[in-house]
Amino acid sequence: MTRTPQIGFLSDGRRLHLQDGPIDLIVEACGGEKDVQAAYQAAARRFTGLLDELCGELKLLRRAADPRQNRLQGRVARRMHDAVAPFAADCFITPMAAVAGAVAEEILGAMLRGAELKRAYVNNGGDIALHLADGEHFVVGLAERPDASGLMRTMIVDADDPVRGVATSGRHGRSFSLGIADAVTVLARTASQADAAATIIANAVDLPGHPAIIRCPAKELQPDSDLGSRLVTRDVGELSAREIDDALESGAACARKLLAAGLIDGAALRLRGEMVIVAARAIEMPGLQAPLRGRALESAMHV
């Protein structure tokens, strides 16, 4: 099969767009011209064949992760497993829950091996791996749905923060969710960890047994879904303000546990326009501020 990834620049000529099968990456590197070029070349090189590599172990990746041992071979696959392993003892989770973040991390890693960059990010459909040299920062925009004109909140991720991964999960995404969150955005040390944790927290934003929530076995929607016959959320009807609070609190309780365990650095949970922030006092979701309307979005990213 002559399948080649799609590699090109976006309209701004600055950001690289990489797409292969279900993987879709937006990449940006800042630094010297030569370094940026080298980084993009490294990204494109590493990206080519990456999907095939993952698919080679797809069967195992779709099985519940074994909390005690990592039997996967590929670097990305192993990283996926490592990211979900802390959750595997307590609930059903497969390495697929961290695939987007793990891929983003891998591409960013390849870029940094080949170049000296001031800042860089690899955005894999909202799961983002960050690089920040000393003194640099990123402004991360939280959108209810990703769009430049609709940013709700912005967060500043500083080089001094431990955060190098941002991920969002929720029922509107391409992956299925067991919960009802519109979006849960997580800050963590790595993109794969953020990805896995966002999945777990989004699943916890839920109102079990609520009649207005329509659920359906995952395999009825996607026969080979790693979630098998588990019920995934298809639609959420009217919820009272109280119910919205309850569902968010259930997710926030989960997020606080992960925060205490050092698995995440912060989380923003959103449901029906309401938002709950869980973060260590020291971080306070740094720079959480009013909408960024009208400002240059140069360093803003969609989450």
Which residues of the shown chain bind other proteins in the complex (CB under 8 A)? 1-6, 8-13, 15, 17, 19-22, 24, 26, 51-52, 55, 58, 123, 125-126, 143-150, 170, 172-174, 182, 220-224, 272-273, 297, 302
List for the chain the helix, strand, coil content (%; round to 5): 35, 30, 40
Q: Tokens standing for 40?
A: 């993009």
Exposed, middle or buried: residue 69 (CB in 10 Å: 0-12, 13-18, 19+)?
exposed
Task: Give the C-alpha separation, 198 to 88, whole Å.
Answer: 14
State the nearest-atom distance from the C-beta of 298 to other proteins, in Å.
Answer: 10
DSSP letter string, 223-242:
TT-TTTT-EEEEEE----HH
State the nearest-atom distance from the C-beta of 7 to other proteins, in Å.
Answer: 9
State the nearest-atom distance from the C-beta of 92 to other proteins, in Å.
Answer: 19
Amino acid symbol at 112: L
Task: Give the C-alpha separation, 202 to 181, whole Å.
Answer: 6
Q: Which is nearer to other proteins, 109 or 170 (CB)?
A: 170
State the nearest-atom distance from the C-beta of 34 to other proteins, in Å.
Answer: 16
State the nearest-atom distance from the C-beta of 198 to other proteins, in Å.
Answer: 13
Q: Which is nearer to other proteins, 58 or 253 (CB)?
A: 58
Q: Which is nearer to other proteins, 5 or 287 (CB)?
A: 5
Q: Which is nearer to other proteins, 65 or 100 (CB)?
A: 100
Q: Which is nearer to other proteins, 66 or 224 (CB)?
A: 224
Task: Give the C-alpha separation, 39 to 78, whole Å.
Answer: 24
Answer for the pair 128, 122: CB distance below 8 angstroms, yes or no.
yes
